[in-house]
Chains A and B, each alone.
Chain A
Amino acid sequence: MSEFRNPFAREGVRRAFALAVRRRDVIQRDADDELESVLEGRIERLVAAGMPRDDARAEAIRRMGASVDASRSGIRRSAARRERTMSIREWLDGLGADVRYGLRGLRREPLLSAFVVLTLALGIGANAAMFGIADKLVVRSPAHLAEPGRLTRLFFVLRGPAGDERTSAAIDPRVYLNLEEARVFAGLAMFTAASKGAVLGQGESARLVPVAAATANFLSTLGAKPELGRFFTIDEQHSQPSPSIVVLGHALWRGDFGGDPSIVGKTITINGRPTTVIGVAPEGFTGIDLERVDVWQPLTTRVGAAARHWDRGTSSGPALVARLAPGMTLDRATKLATDAYQRTYDGPNKDYATARLFAGPLRFGRGGAEPTETRISRWLLAMSTIVLLVACANIVNLLLARSVRRRREIAVRLAMGAGRARLLRLLLVSSTLLTLIGATVGLLVAAAAGLLVRRVLLPEVDWTSGPVDERVLAYSLVAAVVTGIVIAMLPVLYATRVDVAASLNAGVREGGGRRSGVRSSLMIAQVALAMVLLVGAGLFLRSLERVRSAELGVQPDRVVSLSPRWPRLPADISPAEREAETARRNSFARAVVDQLRALPGVEHAAATTGMPFGTAMSIGLSLPGRDSLPHLAGGFSDPDIRAVSADYFATMGTRLVRGRLFAPQEGTAGERTAVVSETMARVLWPGRDPLGECLLVGTKRASCTRVIGVVQDTRRSKIREEPVMNYYVPLGQEPSLSDDAELVARPRGDAAHAIPMLRSALRRIDPSIRFVDAFVLQDRVEPQTRSWRVGAMMFTMFAGLAVVVAGVGTFSIVAYVVEQRRHEIGVRMALGAEAGQVMRMLLRGAVLLTGAGVLIGGMVGLAAGRVAESLLFETSAHDPAAIGGVALLLILVSAVASTSAAWKAREIGPMAALRDE
């Protein structure tokens, strides 16, 4: 066929316009003729009865009623109305017939229709589901915020020792107090992030629930109203100790308390204490983050001028959310807040004195930039759109092929007088029928995909509505209509340019060598898009593999952390008793670690003042003869210190590199010793053996702490972080470190299964323990790998989908080409060509197109990979194994598809094709 020209421009439009004008003339002429016929008829009768012509005419006009002109216009009007009504009815009937024709067409080619519907369902459904996710995470603000555009999250920007800037959402509570006084904002509230830190209930059914704390003005600053009861009051916020009151999260209220309308005032057990419920939060309320909160507690703030002084060092802490005053911009708020902070900072820390505040959008996460979830959801939306495009390209190709198959039928219709506009409508209706059915089925896919992604990707987020809500439905509808138009465009344009005479000729054959540029481009496009997704999948899978095998320095899946919790001390005991019991509890870990180790199910156990992926701390450190120490960007200004019992390294699985580890009684008498990490050894004593070197822990005047061993590096809190220096001292050796240690154990066999045994063991040792908070250390690590896991999973899923769709598309196109060139193939065979030769000829085209697609897709993938490199883990965006592997896969799939389709060419004997004449 010749090149495309837009048939709707110029000629067609002019014809349609002329049609409309002509139509009106025709109707008027009809009406006039009818009037004339009646008049003339009457005149003739009267003349035949003997009246003179002029009189007859006058009489006839009199009988007509009004003047001739008035009558004419009246009759014209009624005729026009009649035509209008009848043509609308005709149009609707025609539409109904078109729909019935479309349905018949679907039934006639069930395989094609099923494939198209399924492909559309997957494409549109996945897209709608990702839209639902992205909508919640990116587009919509968290629930129940009034004017969320006027709310801002405050960040603290500290200039680190190396000159870099560290942004954090965790801010010292004194900043809050000072800012509040300075009245920079219309409303300022402080809150903590949700953490699974509260024990709800007692005994066997006790469980941990996510809890957050907030100041009294939290709800009012955000503009939300409680569902029941009230939020905290200022007095409750200021009272020390913190009163035993909570506000329940809506979901918890519904779930655990059956939505009891009289819950306000009732008492429940939180952390073993009777607590009064004073209110219920509105449904879906999660503050300005998205994680679910089951229990809100008052966030205590100190009062008085002393509370605002910075003489006691600094701390990070809760987060701040503020409502901008009317007319204030974020930039101005940033400046005012920074000024207010720097004005009121009166502490000694130089870094803190020059720190600044930054007012950022709500969306930003803890680090002052968009959180990973947001970026992930954007990628998800992009990916699903790509799959939809692949699906569209595929379907367009198939529909093009179908419209060529149907060209004889179309030619017949045209020859029998169907207008092209009518034909256009017929084909559009057929195509739209497909997309609407596909979109409806797609809703099922959207629900399933949405649930899957929610559960795996974002389990902490509070999803109040189902995966398919009105917005998703609306999006699906729009997507279906747009897709319908897109896929109908090309086949419709193609079909209506059918040359009637040529098509009606029997034995129509298209020239063998002519290939429609459009169909080829479509095929290249779908292969390229599938390739892009495959590249993503390959890179993420590589990343995941690297993450899994990353050397963390500990074995988190074998380590269990145990934190016993005791009931609050009664108020009526003597101070001496209080002190004694507190001391006992603090040193509990040290005291029982040996008993724990002795348990049959436990390989190793230790007490430690911190652990990887948990807490870290540092105290001053210096080396004799050196003024200052080099420090690394990743840590505090001093290296991390950890006080551990002797069995710590075996428990954690940290390998010894040089020297020795602590002996059982180390640190109680004799020389002070320490074990350092590899990085610390390398940085502090480059090129030398650190064993025997001296550390001055705490102050420069401290006695020498000798290095006796070097262990492998361990991660501090993230899988991917800058290297840090850390060292270990025996528990109890360093007086400036508190005795408050944590228990860790390494059970034999599966760590999670051992938890109940460990819990009851601790309870046996000390029956006054109310609850033991236990978790496998891997639980702290898993969430971090989540983004890679999810990236790998999503990309693989979508890439797989795209490959399947592209593969089937390739199959059908090659099959179509075979069908189209039956005659040519028959002739070649008759002239002596072998089946293999014919197949090679057919496949050449497919291979070229696939190759082009892989190449183009590969290049696009590489470019995109550079953008995504930050999301990968120790994987270069140009990883040859990943890219080469997926290219090979795609070529293989394409080859299989084309070959199976071309196989049919073997069966075309010369006679069969020639008989087609």
Chain B
Amino acid sequence: MADQMQLVRGTLDVLVLKSLSWGPMHSLEIILWLEERSAGRLTIEDSALLQAFHRMEERGLLTSDWGLTAKNRRARYYRVTAKGRAYLKDETTKLNEYTATLAAILSARSA
């Protein structure tokens, strides 16, 4: 297993929103998507993630509803709201700028 990555506060919300930007997914789907995309480097406890989903719904970034999975199991589906979409756009821009700035500084070759 690759090294575990510590997640900077607040970026988890952005990642979850990103995962849902193609359409609604249920709780486990979101968790698995994050695991896959991060090639296992991003490991957060499931319970912590579920609580994060609830917080995001409280803030109005997501809405949820019960539904049936492909296997006819009951699961809670999450979907991005308009507010969530706007938040995703803003934060993505900010994060990209941030990482670009860091990269520029850290790749400096001379003093």
Contacts and interface: CB of A to CB of B under 8 A. Distances in A.
Contacts of B58: 81-82, 85-86
A81 B57 CA distance: 10
A35 B54 CA distance: 12
A460 interface: no
Contacts of A71: 46-47
A78 B45 contact: no
B32 to A, nearest CB: 8
Interface in B47-76: 47-48, 50-51, 54-55, 57-58, 66, 69, 71, 73-76
Given A37-B76, A41-B28, A79 B54 contact: yes
A463 to B, nearest CB: 54
Contacts of A81: 54-55, 58
B45 A63 contact: yes
A74 interface: yes
Main secondary structure of the interface of A (DSSP, over half): helix
B31 interface: yes
Contact of A33 (B32, B69, B74): B74
Given A35-B47, A63-B45, 17 more contacts: A34-B50, A34-B75, A34-B76, A37-B28, A37-B74, A37-B75, A37-B76, A38-B46, A41-B28, A41-B75, A42-B46, A64-B45, A64-B47, A65-B46, A75-B54, A78-B51, A86-B58
B47 A65 contact: yes
Contacts of A75: 47, 50-51, 54
A482 interface: no
B26 interface: yes
A726 B75 CA distance: 108
Contacts of A33: 66, 74, 76
A799 to B, nearest CB: 58
Interface range on chain A (Cβ under 8 Å from partner): 20 to 34
A64 B46 contact: yes
Contacts of A45: 32
B71 to A, nearest CB: 8
A470 interface: no
B81 interface: no
A37 B46 contact: no
B27 interface: yes
A63 B51 contact: no
A74 B51 contact: yes
Contact of B50 (A38, A41, A44, A86): A38
Nearest to B44: A65
Interface of A: 30, 33-35, 37-38, 40-42, 44-45, 63-66, 70-71, 74-75, 77-79, 81-82, 85-86
Main secondary structure of the interface of B (DSSP, over half): helix
A82 B64 CA distance: 11
B21 to A, nearest CB: 21
Interface in B10-27: 26-27
A45 B75 CA distance: 15
A79 B50 CA distance: 9
Contacts of B32: 45
Interface of B: 26-28, 31-32, 45-48, 50-51, 54-55, 57-58, 66, 69, 71, 73-76
A83 to B, nearest CB: 9
A82 B73 contact: no
17 contacts: A33-B74, A34-B76, A37-B26, A37-B28, A38-B31, A40-B73, A41-B73, A41-B75, A42-B46, A64-B47, A66-B47, A74-B51, A75-B50, A82-B54, A82-B55, A82-B57, A82-B58
Contacts of A42: 28, 46
A37 B47 contact: no
A71 B50 CA distance: 10
Nearest to B54: A78
A33 B47 CA distance: 13
Contacts of A65: 45-48
B73 to A, nearest CB: 6
A37 B28 CA distance: 8
9 nearest A-B residue pairs (beta carbon): A65-B45, A71-B47, A78-B54, A41-B28, A78-B51, A82-B58, A65-B47, A82-B54, A64-B46
* Candidate in A38, A65, A78, A82 with the most chain B CB atoms within 10 angstroms: A38
Contacts of A78: 50-51, 54-55
A34 B45 contact: no
Nearest to A35: B50
B87 to A, nearest CB: 17
Nearest to A71: B47
B47 A74 contact: yes
Nearest to B31: A38
A37 B54 contact: no
Contacts of B27: 34, 37-38
A71 B48 CA distance: 8
Contacts of B73: 37, 40-41
Contacts of B74: 33, 37
